[in-house]
Structure 1
């Protein structure tokens, strides 16, 4: 008995042959969604963290409200608000030239994921910055460093070392949460899996999707562990 025959006893190879490449393409869309939203969310989250810590009477409460909304409501609800809500305000969006962006389900999903992960990453960065001893800023000020140089050379390198682990967890959470994009017709991995199941009614396609998600998450986790160890190796020897 050949290896193919043995695998055929446990796996529906016909389904893999017909829909495997479609699912791999869907995996690529999933990676693209996360690769867009997470870095943009990190940049936006950094701005949110600074605004939250500014203590300004208007700015700080606005950021706190933003964070509370996006961390306190389901991501699916947020996606529906953006995707279906954009259609309700089509004329104003056309007037400012944004309808071409919001009429595409992929861009709506990427936009929503960016806003959502920015709220979480902003809180992670804020906590990391505030965990540093106050003397770090005082020492930088004593050396004559301005705010920008203090943040760039003193605060952020230390804060990022603290935030690396929770930021990695947020990345993994976003990979798994991105599966809801399939509900607004985005053919990511889950969308391609639903397409295959609708034509085969074979539950094994969801098993294949689960394995693909697992491999992706485990790969990123291991790479992130190596990345974290290299960036924090000076701390482990301290």
Structure 2
């Protein structure tokens, strides 16, 4: 291991880190906002509401992320009228937009199914109690089903966040210099694969640890009542 190579190229890695922490949280945030209403639609018994969402989630969960990125990056730009559209909306051109779009749609599909499963497991008694209080269907979803489902979905969603972080390495395949892209540049400059990719792996490891730590804090916050109940049961017994 030549540590001098790593030291000399640290600025490049930090630039790649900056791009990674721009892409991943932003795509997760937008994907989360999209996924919640999609999950509600998936629970609908109306086929005209349910089936289109099912088709969307099935398409993005059933194909590799790298294929989705290639279709967006290499395919959308060739559509008739797209070049004219980019003249009006400059942000639509470039690899960054397509990477963000691909990551957002992919995580929205997975997250929607995670939340749908959590919503479907909502206790029947909770819903009946809300109806007895005179809540409308919209209010039941907003106050009962969605909040409790989000708590139950936290462990599964934390895995999706980690998968999205690791999947963001594919941004380098469409010319973006993220952490993996920085490692590929270092490899091509020095022909030092260990120094290049182990350094990137360390950065990913630290980011993964931070995400896990943050989710553990959130889970502990929202599950405090369960711990208190367990402590009460232990005291009684």
Counterpart-to-counterpart distance in 2, 1:59 and 1:44 = 15
Among 168, 182, 190, the alignment partner of 1:200 is 190
- In the alignment, what sits opposite 2:122? 132
Matched positions, count: 228
TM-score, normalised via structure 1 length: 0.91
Q: Which of residues 90, 95, 106 in structure 2 aligns to 1:100?
A: 90
In the alignment, which residue of structure 1 is the partner of 2:216? 225
Q: CA deviation at 1:99?
A: 6.0
CA distance in 2 between counterparts of 1:62 and 1:137 reads 26
Structure 2 Cα separation of the partners of residues 78 and 181 of structure 1: 11
Contact 2:86 2:93 in 1 (8 A): no
Distance across 2 between alignment mates of 1:72 and 1:98: 34
Structure 2's unaligned 5+ residue stretches are 230-237
Q: CA deviation at 1:205?
A: 1.1
- The structure-2 alpha-carbon separation of the partners of 1:24 and 1:223, relative to structure 1 and needing over 3 Å to count, comes to same
Which 10-residue stretch deviates more, 58-67 or 173-182?
58-67
Q: Distance in 2 between matches of 1:95 and 1:230?
A: 46
Q: Counterpart of 1:3?
A: none
- 1:155 match: 145
Cα deviation code 1:143-169 (max 9, x no counterpart): 111223222221222111100111111
**2:93 matched to 1:85?**
no
Relative to 1, partners in 2 of residues 1:150 and 1:98: Cα closer, same or farther, differing over 3 Å? farther
* 1:54 counterpart SS class: coil
Superposition CA RMSD, Å = 1.6
Matched residue, 2:44 = 54
> Aligned partners of 2:47, 2:166: CA distance in 1, in Å?
37
- Say if 1:86 and 1:102, in contact at 8 Å, map to a contact too: no
Match of 2:234 in 1: none
Q: TM-score, normalised by structure 2?
A: 0.91
